[in-house]
Structure 1
Amino acid sequence: MKTALGLVTAAGAGLLGHSLSRKPGSAEFVGSTAAVAGVWAAGSLLDRTPAGRIGAGPVAAGVGAFVLFRAGAEVARRIPVLRRALQGVLRYATAGNGGAVLLTTLANGAAEELFFRGPVYNALGATGSTAVYVLTTTATRNPALVVASAVMGTVFAWQRRAGGGVLAPVVTHVVWSALMVWRLPALVPEKAGP
């Protein structure tokens, strides 16, 4: 099982790095991000994971996480190196077909949770699955995404343990991602002032 998980993780990380080296908004970017979601979704089939319990908490957690990340972006946009890291990833949210970008973002968020909080969590537990999630995100070569993966990976692992399944992390990830794509680019525009 761990060998198969390692192969899926390596394939997903490779595609993830490839996708974020493509031109923002291009068909190649959209296609490669869709492929990443497909890898994570296929990998989730390696082990059965229950859906778990869910209430309004995961939606509130997604909104709360967005509020915290928005506050962090408010500070980061004033620090040139951090502003560049944010702009580097947010240009993918604003270029090309907005509907396609949102769809692939949400598909990736859901598929990541099905894989990393499914079979990877089952094999490695909360700390191990979060560590693999963060290491996988380093393939993006974007420090903003790596930091986000550490923070949110910890939240998602906690939700997995508390809720007994993958549904709570999936809902939180989708809500958080939708808000990030919809609202964060305006806060850190490509041509930022001093």
Structure 2
Amino acid sequence: MPTASVSVIPRVLVVLVPALVGAGGLLTASTADRGSVLFYVATFFTAAVYVLAWWFEGRGRESFSRTAWGRDLARGAALGLIFLAVFALGALVVRPFPVLADPVVSLLENVRQGALWLTVLTTAVNGVAEELFFRDVVPRNITGRPSVVAVCSVGLYTAVTIAMGVPLLVFAAVIIGGATYFEARSTRRLFSPIALHLVWSLGMLVVLPPLMGS
């Protein structure tokens, strides 16, 4: 009688356990008072889970090869600006629809009620941590055709984002997750996807509040 390969189990755990714990952290953050200590603790906890998973998995150090890192950063930043412009236009489209706009406005209350520097730091740290995990750890531990790996990476990222309870963030996870996955695969490094993610997410902190009237 054939037996399952024991090597599959650690690979599954390396991917699913941090994702589930991270989703729990995001769920806690989404239910916490905006600008509260619990919100920031939960989001930093989520980032720590992803970073530790990447660190202990230990196979992604070459993703930060110094070769062409400047070009990768510039490429990612340029793409981040493009996506920022597209999402800014999208914000104007969804603003009249409360079912879509209200959860975003609620999330943006952290910019108004919390410490701005801490919100920026939280956003940046989580952006880097998400790229380390979803664009490096997850693809390295999923076997199959490139299309299957891509679907697993972006799909898992999107599924975890659902815990935030913001429909537009789920949509953004599909778009930004797909773009950063493509960048990670194309450049074989994480400089470009991290730059894309940070420029987009930090830019949204500046652009969205006036567009959404928060």
Q: Contact 1:85–1:142 at 8 Å: present in 2 too? A: yes
Could you say which residue in structure 1 is the equivalent of 2:20? 10
Q: TM-score, normalised by structure 1?
A: 0.93
Q: For residues 4-153 of structure 1, what are the structure 2 equivalents within 5 Å?
A: 4-45=14-55, 46-49=57-60, 50-51=63-64, 53-54=68-69, 55=71, 56-124=74-142, 125-153=149-177
Amino acid paired to 1:137: T
Q: Deviations over 1:47-78 (max 9, x none)?
A: 42222654121010111111010000010102
Q: Contact 1:47–1:118 at 8 Å: present in 2 too? A: no
- Unaligned 5+ runs, structure 2: 1-10, 143-148
User: Greater CA radius of gyration, 1 or 2?
Assistant: 2
1:152 CA displacement: 0.5
Q: Contact 1:44–1:115 at 8 Å: present in 2 too? A: yes
SS in 1 for 2:32: coil
- Unaligned 5+ runs, structure 1: none
SS in 1 for 2:64: coil
SS in 2 for 1:60: helix
1:164 and 1:12 map into 2 onto residues whose CA distance is: 25
Q: Contact 2:128–2:194 at 8 Å: present in 1 too? A: yes
Percent of aligned pairs with the same amino acid: 30
1:92 CA displacement: 2.6
1:86 and 1:78 map into 2 onto residues whose CA distance is: 12
Q: How many pairs does the alignment contain?
A: 190
Stretches (4+) displaced over 6 A: none
1:42 and 1:143 map into 2 onto residues whose CA distance is: 28
Q: TM-score, normalised by structure 2?
A: 0.84
